[in-house]
Chains A and B, each alone.
Chain A
């Protein structure tokens, strides 16, 4: 089933490259061994299950939920083919930025609501600042769309 391989099979592999590959694999295996031994010697066995759950959970949340949601969103957005393509691209980029900023800041907001060990930890108005950033993204999106529409060739503006 070699034809199924995604990698282009015709890529050249020189002797030099094989030397590097060997060195990388040896150091990689060594580092993995150090990681494994460190894990076994430093992490309490009672918490192995917790670490395993985090590792499995990361794959499930990313590949199973996050990536699938992105996939679903992109195929739906593709149906809006009466909207100029550049506009769709800008809106998607804005959505990506919004989602990533939210993913990073949301746990901060949750932890702040739960409470911190002292008032100098999480001292800012993260909800207000997040709203501020959303507004900034929205404004930038509108400006980018306006620029994209103005710069479109007039012929395509007529046909749409």
Chain B
């Protein structure tokens, strides 16, 4: 039994030593609201992006405003980055909970603690692999980022719903500032343990016995200030200031990759506007896609087919068709985006030349091999859009090989991975 009492004592001592003015239920509620909002934004925008790339046949997506995907995915990444300071702060505020005694009170309590452990672990992994993915640091993942990030998103949001349900009375109790008096650090009651120290009661071993006892005694000689000590308010304000400044700094210095207005202070974004061939970033180069030869071959042709009707166009024939301009962003799943002026024939004009029906989808095939995006499908709404082009030019120049020469798709409100480069075939389906 001694071991259990010793453990109980250490847990008590930890909780006691962890008391600070910012560790209370009100802080947890304030940070929880912000973090939950960021999680919900990430989940909603992430699911939207997933469905765009992997739609059910009946799904219809908006193609206006043209910046829709740029904004949803920019928000996804930016809110994800904001989660780092917020989750660290939230976990800081509730850290003493880790040391509650007894560690397990009942089956329900065990389930609750296990679900919290899963929630915390899944949330930390989710935002970390998301961030590392924007750096393309794939070598750190012993798994498929795309599949794990997708599955974990449901785990995180499901756990969040359960967590809110469990804590709802506390959330309601501390929702408003005026209902949350400074004088109630959540851990107060639980940490006043001197008279409930079983180890001393049963064996007489004093609390400052042993190495841990002395360390905790040493900590206890200089406790954190407690209300009504005015320093407690200073400490709590300093905590919130630190969280606010950290969040603001990270968002300001990275969001420029997604939102042009912050481009001037883009110090840490993994992408930078105007950096790349023809002032446009690239995700997959022609070399990486293995198309350097096939895309530059003089025999290159674009095949457009509808059942048995097939037409082929070489580059000169495409360039001789009526050309249209579109000012559209490339918006990557990794969050960066950039506008460019694209020029080429409309996709709908091309498929109409093989008699495509009004509500037809188009299967788009690229020269690139070994990529899940080598063959994609475009729904009728995007096919019929006047801004959807088979682009031959960008910003007034012939497409760079890395931007999809000889011809690429560009459409409004679609993820960059679906803006297929190095076209070879368009099939009406």
A51 in contact with B148 given A27-B161, A101-B250 (CB within 8 Å): yes
A contact residues around B45 at 8 Å (CB): none
A118 touches B187 (CB 8 A): no
- Nearest CB in chain A: distance from B172 CB, A: 7
Q: Which of B79-123 contact A (CB under 8 A)?
A: 81, 84-85, 88, 91-92, 95-98, 100-102, 105, 117-118, 120-122
In the assembled complex, the Cα of A133 lies from the Cα of B284 at a distance in Å of 31
Which of chain B's residues have a CB closer than 8 A to the CB of A32?
154-155, 158-159, 162
Known A-B contacts A11-B172, A12-B169, A70-B92; A28 and B270 likewise in contact (beta carbons under 8 Å): no
Q: Find B165's partner among A25, A56, A129 (CB 8 Å cutoff).
A: A25
B232 to chain A, nearest CB (A): 10
A85–B225 alpha-carbon span in the complex (Å): 10
For chain A, residues 19 to 77, give those with C-beta under 8 angstroms from any C-beta of chain B: 20-22, 24-25, 27-36, 38-39, 42-44, 47, 49-51, 53-56, 58-59, 62-63, 66-67, 70-71, 74-75
Contact of B222 among A51, A81, A89 (CB under 8 A): A81
| B63-74 to A contact mask, C-beta < 8 Å, 1/0 | 000000000000
* A8-B25, A56-B121 known; A104 vs B250 contact (CB < 8 Å): yes
Q: Are A25's CB and B222's CB within 8 A?
A: no
Q: Which residues of A contact B313 (CB under 8 A)?
A: none
With both chains docked as a complex, state the minimum distance between the C-beta of B233 and any C-beta of chain A, in angstroms.
10
Q: Contacts of B131 on A, CB cut-off 8 Å?
A: 104, 107
B84 touches A103 (CB 8 A): yes
Q: How far is the CA of A70 from the CA of B17 in the complex (A)?
A: 13
Given A63-B98, A89-B238, A17 contacting B135 (CB threshold 8 A): no
| B contact residues around A104 at 8 Å (CB) | 81, 84, 131, 250, 268
* B151 contact set on A, CB distance < 8 A: 35-36, 38-39, 42-43
The verdict on B205 contacting chain A, using a C-beta distance below 8 Å, is no
Cβ of A93 within 8 Å of any chain B Cβ, yes or no, is: yes
Which of B121, B125, B253 has the largest number of chain A CB atoms within 10 A? Answer: B121
Q: Please pick, from B81, B125, B142, B275, the residue contacting A47 in the complex, using a CB distance under 8 A.
A: B142
Residues from 65 to 107 in A contacting B, C-beta threshold 8 Å: 66-67, 70-71, 74-75, 78-79, 81, 85-86, 89-90, 92-94, 96-97, 100-101, 103-105, 107
Whether A35 and B246, one on each chain, are in contact in the complex, defined by CB atoms closer than 8 angstroms, is no
Interface centre among A29, A78, A132 (most CB of B within 10 A): A78
Query: Which residues of B are found within 8 Å of A44, using beta-carbon distances?
Result: 143-144, 147
Counting CB contacts under 8 A, is B305 at the interface?
no
